[in-house]
């Protein structure tokens, strides 16, 4: 009598499959595969081999707590060749005497996540026996044309899915600074933390069956992840903090990577990590999305609008000294703001709006009741299609709102200027397979001031007006002819006449005399130019105040008044100096100082406002790799750093990390550094991954928080 077919052992061929599925960096002993691409497993039998006419093998793949055929979270698929209703495929590769190699393939629309693989063996006229073969993780597949995250460029896939380090651009539009970041999406346990993050979402908590069934959609997953990066509605990964008080956590400027944050969130039972600001939210989101297989990049927008009332106008209020006042409406221009772009098809939108999508995990406004933003099609933003899902109107305002300047005095508000091109400059991301900055502004908007750009603005405004009931800002929304003036030039009161000579008779401009280095006095001049044929008597009030990167002003710490008499067509300069001793105790972590001048002409109502934002710079950390970097061989790394200030600094801590180079972040307690003191330490490590790697370092103290440095290292297989 014929014996039943019994499975003795299963080989999931993890190492071989993972290489073919671009997941070998995550693990070689756990099976991690991508949807829409076949993977092979081998079944070993006890007493006899597989007999095609006699034995019927049915595979079962299940995900989530309530696997269900109708939901797509349970699949039954046969080896017999008649695939039946299931889009999952099993096919025979080789049939040995006591083993069977089969090829399995999940459809390119399958839900991503953790799966259990089982097999039912139905032997001729015998009872069915069931075996549990093992677990595997299914990920999105940007290499598969059938997947909605398919990206058809290998260099782009390498950069936006595989690369585990990058740069996040900070500073201001006149001084763009790359901040090195360790995304570390393939580090140990990060995939498990990413899946845990999905299971901690409110969607899963409320209805786990539906949530798991929807995990095949990158649009759905990206919204869930976006809401889970901040902790406003749930036990998300990060607490946001813009208060300048971080005593019960970490100052956002100190972080250099995502891995430490995600591991801390996991280790504390999913308690939100303190603290993050926009670039940290975006960096964590990038790590999670790349880990799940969705192509993602980090985007910085300089002079980013936060328009709270949806009228595409951001009102800024100034007093008679030219200092910016706390905004009553909470409209702000962030010095820079950071978000993500994720690549995906948008079958939920009209054709043409797939590709890069804005996702912003910084908790600013709610979307369908949760703090998340996007995915908003970048193409829809450029075309002003602000009624398309999701949150396109808010994303549009971040790069396109107009700025209205108001002078507040004696309880009145006087309109100084409307600026149409302040918001949305130098939109930046890391270049593909290079350390250079890539400017992607043209993806978001037509050239400022061009007829197309104004047409798109009007289209967006009309759609927004139709969407919201006629509110108190109706008059604001009547769009007057733009006056082409930029941030560092005068904003004039004369709106009706469009002759430039009538509008701007006197020009004011700031010019720095030295690079603005931390610890040194700030020297600059105010240039005044009379462009008219009359004499001009000017009174100019100057002030300086610290800014937070979200645009919030701190009180002024320096003021000056200049009286300038100008002959026709004459230019004069007024020299200014702000000593380090005067600005040092007023600086925010963002190291931003805003200098401003409000000029008044004698016997004229005209006011001229000019401002300049200065970011103070530190000397960076130098990192030297001593000798060749060989995988699994000891490597010495020298880190050189200094105290740039003319005073003692205490509580100095150096952190060093790098995916594939250090198993965990290294923290070195330095203690006190003397004024201008230079120091170096040497760290020993053993690289455990080959290829292009990056070391990131940060030095913090009681006086500064984010002196940074990085070094790219290529790790070879052997000498």
In terms of phi and psi (left: phi > 0; alpha: psi -120 to 50; beta: otherwise), the region of 581 is alpha
Does residue 453 have a known ligand-binding role?
A: yes
CA distances from 539 to 501, 512, 568 (A): 20, 21, 17
CA–CA distance, 39 with 238 (Å, rounded to integer): 36
Q: Is the distance from CB of 13 to CB of 93 less than 8 angstroms?
A: no
Facing residues of 542 across strands?
560, 597
Does residue 93 have a known ligand-binding role?
A: no
120 is known as an active-site residue: no
> Would you list the DSSP string of 492-507?
-S--S---HHHH-SEE
Q: Is the distance from CB of 570 to CB of 524 less than 8 angstroms?
A: no
Q: Is the distance from CB of 119 to CB of 43 less than 8 angstroms?
A: yes
SS3 of residue 211 by DSSP: helix
652 is known as an active-site residue: no
CA atoms within 13 A on the CB side of 486: 11
Q: Cα angle vertex 369, ends 215, 261, to 5°?
A: 60
Considering the candidates 234, 360, 590, 706, report the single residue annotated as catalytic.
Answer: 360
Does residue 385 have a known ligand-binding role?
A: no
CA–CA distance, 586 with 633 (Å, rounded to integer): 47
Helix (H) or strand (E) holding 228: helix 218-229
**Alpha-carbon torsion 92, 93, 98, 99, what sign?**
negative
Neighbours of 356 (CB within 10 A): 24
Does residue 624 have a known ligand-binding role?
A: no
576 is known as an active-site residue: no
State how far Cα 26 lies from the chain centre: 22
**Structure tokens of 570?**
């004459």
Facing residues of 43 across strands?
10, 100
Considering the candidates 306, 337, 417, 549, report the single residue annotated as catalytic.
Answer: 337
Q: At what angle do helices 190-199 and 259-267 cross, to 10 degrees?
A: 60
**Structure tokens of 155?**
């260099």
Considering the candidates 179, 194, 270, 278, report the single residue annotated as catalytic.
Answer: 278
CA–CA distance, 31 with 19 (Å, rounded to integer): 10
User: In 3D, which of 712, 323, 333 has the Cα closest to residue 541?
Assistant: 323
**Structure tokens of 403?**
């700025």
Residues 211-235: b if buried by 16+ CB within 10 A, e if exposed = bbbbbbbbbbbbbbbbbbbbbbbbb
Burial class (CB in 10 A: 0-12, 13-18, 19+), 469: exposed
Helix (H) or strand (E) holding 62: strand 55-63
Q: Show which residues are catalytic.
A: 278, 337, 360
Q: Annotated binding residues, as ranges?
A: 400, 402, 448, 453
Q: Annotated binding residues for Ca(2+), as ranges?
A: 400, 402, 448, 453
């Amino acid at each position: 009598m014929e014996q039943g077919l019994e499975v003795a052992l299963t080989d999931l061929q993890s190492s071989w499959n993972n290489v073919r599925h671009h997941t070998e960096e995550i693990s070689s002993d756990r099976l991690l595969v991508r949807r829409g691409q076949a993977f092979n497993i081998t079944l070993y039998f006890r007493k006899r081999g597989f007999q095609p006419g006699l034995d019927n093998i049915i595979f079962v793949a299940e995900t989530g707590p309530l696997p269900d055929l109708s939901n797509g979270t349970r699949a039954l698929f046969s080896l017999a060749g008649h695939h039946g209703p299931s889009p999952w495929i099993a096919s025979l590769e080789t049939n040995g005497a006591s083993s069977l190699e089969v090829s399995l393939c999940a459809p390119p629309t399958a839900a991503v996540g953790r799966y259990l693989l089982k097999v039912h063996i139905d032997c001729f006229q015998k009872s069915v026996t069931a075996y549990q073969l093992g677990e595997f993780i299914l990920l999105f597949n940007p290499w598969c044309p059938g997947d909605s995250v398919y990206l058809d460029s290998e260099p782009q896939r390498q950069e936006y899915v595989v690369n585990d380090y990058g740069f996040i651009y900070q500073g201001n539009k006149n001084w763009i600074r790359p901040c090195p970041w360790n995304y570390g999406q393939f580090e140990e346990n990060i995939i498990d933390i990413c899946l845990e993050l999905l299971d901690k979402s409110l969607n899963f908590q409320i209805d786990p069956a539906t949530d798991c069934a929807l995990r095949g959609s990158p649009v759905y997953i990206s919204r869930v992840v976006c809401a889970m990066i901040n902790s406003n509605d749930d036990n998300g990964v990060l607490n946001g903090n813009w208060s300048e008080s971080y005593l019960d956590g970490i100052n956002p400027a100190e972080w250099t990577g995502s891995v430490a944050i995600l591991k801390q969130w996991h280790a504390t039972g999913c308690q939100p990590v303190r603290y993050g600001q926009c670039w940290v939210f975006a960096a964590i989101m990038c790590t999670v999305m790349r880990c799940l297989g969705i192509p993602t990049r980090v985007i910085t927008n300089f002079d980013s609008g936060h328009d709270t009332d949806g009228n595409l106008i951001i009102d800024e209020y100034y007093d008679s000294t030219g200092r910016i006042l706390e905004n009553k409406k909470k409209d702000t221009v962030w010095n820079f703001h950071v978000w993500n772009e994720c690549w995906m098809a948008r079958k939920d939108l009209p054709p043409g709006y797939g590709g890069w999508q804005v996702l912003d995990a910084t908790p600013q406004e709610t979307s369908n009741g949760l703090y998340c933003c996007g995915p908003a099609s970048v193409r829809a933003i450029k075309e002003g299609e602000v009624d398309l899902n999701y949150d396109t109107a808010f994303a549009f305002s971040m790069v396109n709102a107009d700025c209205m300047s108001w002078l507040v005095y004696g309880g009145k508000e006087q309109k100084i200027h409307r600026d149409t091109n302040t918001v949305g400059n130098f939109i930046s991301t890391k270049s593909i397979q290079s350390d250079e900055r890539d400017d992607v502004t043209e993806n978001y908007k037509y050239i400022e001031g061009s007829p197309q750009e104004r047409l798109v603005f009007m289209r967006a405004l009309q759609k927004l007006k139709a969407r919201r009931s006629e509110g108190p800002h109706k008059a604001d929304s009547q769009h007057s002819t733009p006056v082409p003036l930029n941030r560092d030039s005068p904003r004039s009161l004369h709106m009706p006449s469009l002759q430039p000579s009538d509008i701007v008779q006197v020009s004011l401009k700031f010019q720095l005399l030295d690079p603005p280095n931390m610890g040194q006095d700030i020297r600059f001049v105010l240039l005044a130019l009379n462009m008219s044929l009359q004499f001009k008597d000017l009174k100019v009030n100057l002030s300086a105040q610290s800014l937070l990167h979200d645009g919030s002003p701190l009180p002024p710490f320096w003021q000056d008044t200049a009286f300038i008499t100008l002959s026709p067509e004459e230019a004069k300069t007024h020299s200014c100096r702000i000593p380090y001793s005067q600005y040092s105790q007023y600086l925010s972590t963002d190291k931003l100082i805003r200098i401003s001048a409000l000029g008044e002409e004698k016997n004229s109502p005209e006011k001229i406002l000019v401002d300049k934002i200065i970011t103070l710079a530190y000397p960076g950390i130098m990192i030297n790799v001593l000798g060749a970097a060989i995988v699994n061989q000891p490597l010495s790394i020298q880190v050189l750093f200094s105290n740039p200030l003319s005073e003692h600094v205490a509580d100095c801590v150096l952190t060093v990390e790098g995916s594939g180079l250090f198993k965990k972040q290294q923290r070195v307690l330095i203690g006190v550094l003397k004024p201008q003191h230079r120091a170096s330490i040497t760290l020993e490590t053993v690289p455990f991954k080959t290829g292009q790697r990056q070391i990131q370092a940060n030095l913090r103290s009681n006086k500064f928080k984010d002196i940074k440095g990085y070094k790219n290292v290529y790790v070879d297989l052997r000498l």
